[in-house]
């Protein structure tokens, strides 16, 4: 049977269209994003290459030589400081001994080693009293760690011969 009165067209629900256009937009955005990201990535790679080149140019041969030169100077000054710190002035030994030697005592020989700070003094004096006084001076001297008196003998003219072994503190030589 022929329909004389046409049926009204079935209406599409509006969310069908919204969803459709939304999905198209999403796809377009995704494609655009890909191209934008691709461009940004290319630019970033280019920048990175330039920066790598710049980094290489930062370390020029001239600058590296300067660095080596200064490191060498630093090493030298450190070594020099070490030597200054450990430098001993042996000449001070004589002033030190002259100041603490009894007027009636003389030393005929001296042997000193800075390695152990030991000085061996052979000498003579008039009597045991002055020898005792000298020993006492040495014992009361704070810069002398240890005193050892040995080889005490009476000489031809009644003089007393002796050997002192003194262990000295390194402060004397600074």
Residues that bind another protein (CB under 8 A): 12, 16-17, 19-20, 22-24, 26-27, 30-31, 33-34, 37-38, 40-41, 44-45, 47-48, 51-52, 54-55, 58-59, 63, 66-67, 69-70, 73, 76-77, 79-80, 82-83, 87-91, 93-94, 106-115, 122
Min CB(153)–another protein separation in Å: 17
- Nearest approach, Cβ of 4 to another protein (angstroms)? 25
Q: Count other Cβ atoms within 10 Å, centred on residue 172.
A: 19
In our burial notation (b when 16+ CB lie closer than 10 A, e otherwise), range 80-116 reads eeeeeeeeeeeeebeebbeeebbeebebeeeebeeee
Q: How far is the CB of 140 from another protein (least distance, A)?
A: 25
Q: How far is the CB of 39 from another protein (least distance, A)?
A: 10
| Nearer of residues 113 and 158 to another protein, judged by Cβ | 113
By C-beta, is 45 or 148 nearer to another protein? 45
Closer to another protein at the Cβ: 2 or 171?
171
> At its nearest, how many Å lie between another protein and the CB of residue 70?
6
Residue (5 or 30) nearer to another protein, CB:
30
Q: 77 vs 129, which CB is nearer to another protein?
A: 77
């Amino acid at each position: 049977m022929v329909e004389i009165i046409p049926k009204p067209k079935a209406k599409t629900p509006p969310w069908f269209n919204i969803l459709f256009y939304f999905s198209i937009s999403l796809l377009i955005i995704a494609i655009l994003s890909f191209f934008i990201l691709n461009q940004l990535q290319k630019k970033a790679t280019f920048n990175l290459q330039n920066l790598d080149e710049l980094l290489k140019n930062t370390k020029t041969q001239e600058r590296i030589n300067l660095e080596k030169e200064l490191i060498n100077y630093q090493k030298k000054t450190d070594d020099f400081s070490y030597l200054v710190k450990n430098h001993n002035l042996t000449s001070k030994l004589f002033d030190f001994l002259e100041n603490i030697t009894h007027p009636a005592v003389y030393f005929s020989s001296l042997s000193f080693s800075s390695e152990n700070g030991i000085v061996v003094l052979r000498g003579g004096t008039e009597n045991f009293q002055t020898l005792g006084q000298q020993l006492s001076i040495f014992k009361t001297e704070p810069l002398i760690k240890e005193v050892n008196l040995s080889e005490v003998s009476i000489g031809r003219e009644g003089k007393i011969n002796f050997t002192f072994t003194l262990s000295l503190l390194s402060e004397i030589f600074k």
